[in-house]
Chains A and B, each alone.
Chain A
Amino acid sequence: MTTDYPASIVDAAQALREGSVTSVQLVQDTLTRIDEQNGALGAYLTVFTGSALAAAESSDRERAEGRDRGILHGIPLALKDNLASDDGPTTGQSDSLPESWGSQGDGTAVRRLRAAGSVIVGKTSTMELASGLHDPEKSYPQPKNPWDIERWPGGSSSGSGAAVAAGLALAALGTDTGGSIRCPAGFAGVTGFKPTFGVVPKDGCVPASLTYDVIGPLARSARDAAEVFSVLTDGGSHRLDLPADWSTASTDLSGMRIGIDRSVYDGYDVDDNLESTLDRTAETLRSLGATVIDATIPMWGDLNAASLFGPRVEAASVHLPRLREQWNDFGRDLRVGVATSLLVSGAEYAQAQRIRAVGRQRMREFFTATCDAVITPTAAVEAPLLEGMDLTPFRTLTMVWSQVGVPAISIPMGSGELGLPLSIQIASGAYEDARVLRIAHAFQSATAFHLTHPAVLNARVDLRY
């Protein structure tokens, strides 16, 4: 009989509490799957076999003694390799990062996961320093999409998305500067949540762009992402109004006004199935009680344009000292891109920031007067082929929400022409993280797209869960 990896953290936690599986079994199974599949996928850079199994044993011991730390207790999770941890090195997938970086150990976000009992199984691959495209002259792997290993898994939290989709972790942390959680979630068919800027502590995270970077979860469901997010925010501090118990979160969207903006992909290559999947998504949301309306997101083009004068300029401020000394240690895309941003004037950067401030005001008005949340595709196409890949600017539709710092989530909504995932992105106003998660959870309560995983997942025969 063929069985799957647990469908979710929620399912695994229930099995742990019922005693039908132990954390050691769950972690060992995860490590075995990594061993079998990571060579093809390149999802992990480092695997912490010894410390993960020790943590799992400790978790099982605590549970046997009657201590339950919550839903993440004993659950195998992964970290993007731009996040420091006690378990091992942090490379940012770059030869330019000093080996000593990250030696301080867990940052606050990772420390909170560990305190909640989760088991860190390894560090996942990323684009270089969460920014640069793969450079074949460097030794780091090009992560592959588990739906089709000839295709890009999205980035920059590439390995985190691939690992969660392939069942090599039940969830993973990623970071998002302009779409780096949502894009890989979208292309790998998993759930990826970018929180409101500033609500998850960022110490212990290699900076990419200081006024854009956020840490958030990639998971197998919105409910799982919500559970991880609650832990990351220590239960919802800092203006957030998170439910104390996500298991009781309502899936009734009555009274919710949800806008849909199809103009954001005007002029793009568009998958043949995109419009029909969006139509079905709108119908599903209506069936849950929401009022779905056509809406035009304010300043979409201008905020995208202004982003060309922002994040990479901030990256230059982070990397310039090492760029001077270690030019060839950086991959070509990153070193050329950062050097380009050094040519942006101070006035242009300041003006781009001013546009962000205007955008934040306009979005506050939009999410008050027009709708409570808005949906767009995460990308208008399926994952692109790696060979000859051309990431034309704005082909993913994620940057605007980073420009204005509001929460946004990517969840699968169907399949494209080739049977690969298509995803929607749901965004709302600042600090409305719970609303975004609840809409996604409600959608997943009525659909099964998030339960569909790449065929490789079923390759093993094991009757354990």
Chain B
Amino acid sequence: MDSVGHNSVTLQEQDPTLSHYVAEALARFGIAPTQDELEEISARWLSIQGYVDVLWKPEYAAIEQNMAIDFDAEASE
């Protein structure tokens, strides 16, 4: 368990066919990593997906305008 309470996913736990799907997805972007790289990308992506539920907690997914970024304040001069 890590600091946000989720299990990270190890390479051994991942679907052995995942790197095939990752290769197809990256091909859409015009990228063709090596098999070794695809396996690392797959592992990293699975690790990130271990946190995806945080994004959809009810307090962040309400149907309201709670995304009031102050563009004026954040604009560089």
Contact = CB atoms under 8 A, between A and B. Distances in A.
Interface of A: 108, 197-198, 200-203, 211, 237-239, 264-268, 301-302, 304-306, 308-309, 320, 323-324, 327, 332, 335-337, 339-340, 342-344, 348, 351-358, 360-361, 393-394, 405, 430-431
B77 A305 contact: no
Given A267-B1, A354-B66, 6 more contacts: A201-B76, A327-B32, A339-B31, A339-B33, A351-B55, A358-B59
A414 B39 CA distance: 42
Contact of A198 (B37, B44, B60, B75): B75
Contact of A342 (B29, B51, B52, B54): B29
B60 A358 contact: yes
B56 A351 contact: yes
A353 B69 contact: yes
A237 B75 CA distance: 13
A90 to B, nearest CB: 18
A239 B73 contact: yes
Contact of B44 (A202, A266, A336, A353): A336
B73 to A, nearest CB: 6
B22 interface: yes
B30 interface: yes
Contacts of A302: 4, 54, 57, 60
Interface string B37-77: 10011001100100110111101110000111100011111
Contacts of B1: 267
Task: Place the interface of chain B in its size category.
Answer: 35 or more
A430 B73 contact: yes
Contact of B29 (A211, A306, A324, A357): A324
Nearest to B53: A305
B17 interface: no
A301 B37 contact: no
A308 B45 CA distance: 10
Given A324-B31, A361-B68, A198 B41 contact: no
21 contacts: A198-B75, A238-B77, A266-B3, A301-B3, A302-B54, A304-B3, A305-B4, A305-B6, A306-B54, A308-B51, A309-B52, A327-B32, A340-B41, A340-B44, A340-B45, A348-B52, A354-B66, A355-B55, A357-B67, A358-B60, A358-B67
A405 B1 CA distance: 28
A336 B54 contact: no
B66 to A, nearest CB: 6
Nearest to B32: A327
A179 B26 CA distance: 29
Contacts of B11: none
Tell which of B6, B45, B48, B61 has the most Cβ of chain A within 10 Å: B48
A308 B37 CA distance: 19
A337 B44 contact: yes
A343 B77 contact: no
A327 B45 CA distance: 19
B73 A394 contact: no
Nearest to B48: A308
A342 B31 contact: yes
A394 B47 CA distance: 13
Contact of A305 (B37, B54, B67, B76): B54
B27 to A, nearest CB: 11
Contacts of A360: 69
Contact of B33 (A203, A327, A431): A327
A337 B66 CA distance: 30
Given A308-B51, A343-B45, A354 B60 contact: yes
B13 interface: no
B60 A355 contact: yes
Contacts of B75: 198
Contacts of A201: 76-77
Contacts of B2: 267, 393-394
Given A323-B31, A357-B67, A305 B51 contact: yes
B76 A198 contact: yes
Contacts of A200: 76
Given A305-B51, A309-B48, A202 B3 contact: no
A351 B60 contact: yes
B69 A198 contact: no
Contact of B37 (A332, A344, A355): A332
